[in-house]
Homo-oligomer: A and B are copies of this chain.
Amino acid sequence: MHGLLSESALCQGLDLAPIDGLVFGGHEVRRSDFVASATEIHQNGGSIQWPVLQALRGELRALSRNVVPGALANAGRTIERLVGDDGGKLPQRRPLRAQIEAVQRDIRAFQRRHGLDRVVCVNLTSTEPPLPLGKAHAALAAFEQALDRDDEAAVRSSALYAYAAAALGLPFVHFTPSNATLTPAVCELFERTGAPYAGADGKSGETLVKSALAPMFKYRNLRVLTWQGYNILGDRDGKVLADDDNKSAKVATKDGLLPQILGYPLHTHVGIDYVPSLHDHKTAWDFIHFEGFLGHRMSMQFVWQGCDAILAAPLVLDLVRLVDLAARTGESGPQRHLACFFKQPVGVPEHDLHAQWHLLTEWLQQQRAAAQR
């Protein structure tokens, strides 16, 4: 199964949860069901082929029943508008504490209903506008006070989910760039309850290429002067990122890696534009201008034409299985060895894809050794 690292030779000999043993559920603020979504993907982009769609129809219909109404707090104008666009209506404002408890009840009920050993939470909400972080996010006590006084300005929807998971001691994967999710306050709670967490922002396309390619310039002492990147994409993801607020969060995680890898400041730009006709066929053009011997300037360009969902879905499966394994073997805190999956890895300022890969392979080696003891 291509795209899925946890099914490759690399992960042989590890005690990973079997894919067939996974049960999927979730929270959602839009009206949606998996069959309709899969059909839309089939029609718009062709990345789910007709026979696959037919084969999965029954299972998708059943899994749709595992999706329950989600939390929504201070989500920003664009996300709120999209909830309405899809024929839903914005839920009534509910107290933050009540929303968190509802999320926790839902998770426990889901676990009981399906007789699951463990629930792993993954944040796949739309990219939220950046939240100005302050005292309320620096320490757990302050954050809980903000929750207690129902201070909606101190949270975004994703913060409620992260807090809910942390409090329950559940492994957590933060797959989006939203900065309100894994704040120091929430991380403190994860440390306290002993659950592993990983993030942020799945690295599946243009940024993946950047992190593989930038080291090459370092290896040759070629000075990168400029790295411009332009991303065009459609569908709901593109619609959300068309809002400058939401886009700014994404640009931040996509743009930070080059100075870290190269070791010096340079001119960079990350553009993201909404192109409805592309649906999920994301296209990126990067232009790299660099200087070599005798000050001579040369350039390189690349064009990435990937299907975001197809690239991201297996990463989510890999991450779920790997944080589950970590939890099972008693690990907690930031999962630094999963850096290669993220645009902004928690706990380790390493963006070089190859260095990140070494972190992962070393950890897998240790896990394999431990499993054989």
Contacts and interface: CB of A to CB of B under 8 A. Distances in A.
B3 A292 contact: yes
A47 B292 CA distance: 10
A354 B212 CA distance: 9
Contacts of A7: 221
A313 B296 CA distance: 12
A345 to B, nearest CB: 14
A81 interface: no
Interface string A298-318: 111111111100110110000
A43 to B, nearest CB: 8
Copies of this chain present in the complex amount to 4
B291 A287 contact: no
Nearest to A312: B293
Which interface residue of A4, A47, A273, A294 has the most chain B CB atoms within 10 A? A294
A269 B273 contact: yes
A31 interface: no
Nearest to A309: B293
Interface residues of A, number: 67
A225 B303 contact: no
A49 interface: yes
Interface in A259-307: 267, 269, 271, 273, 275-278, 283, 285, 287, 289, 291-307
B287 A276 contact: no
Interface of A: 1-5, 7-8, 10, 46-50, 52, 208-209, 212-213, 215-216, 219-223, 225-226, 228, 230, 232, 267, 269, 271, 273, 275-278, 283, 285, 287, 289, 291-307, 310-311, 313-314, 340, 353-354, 357
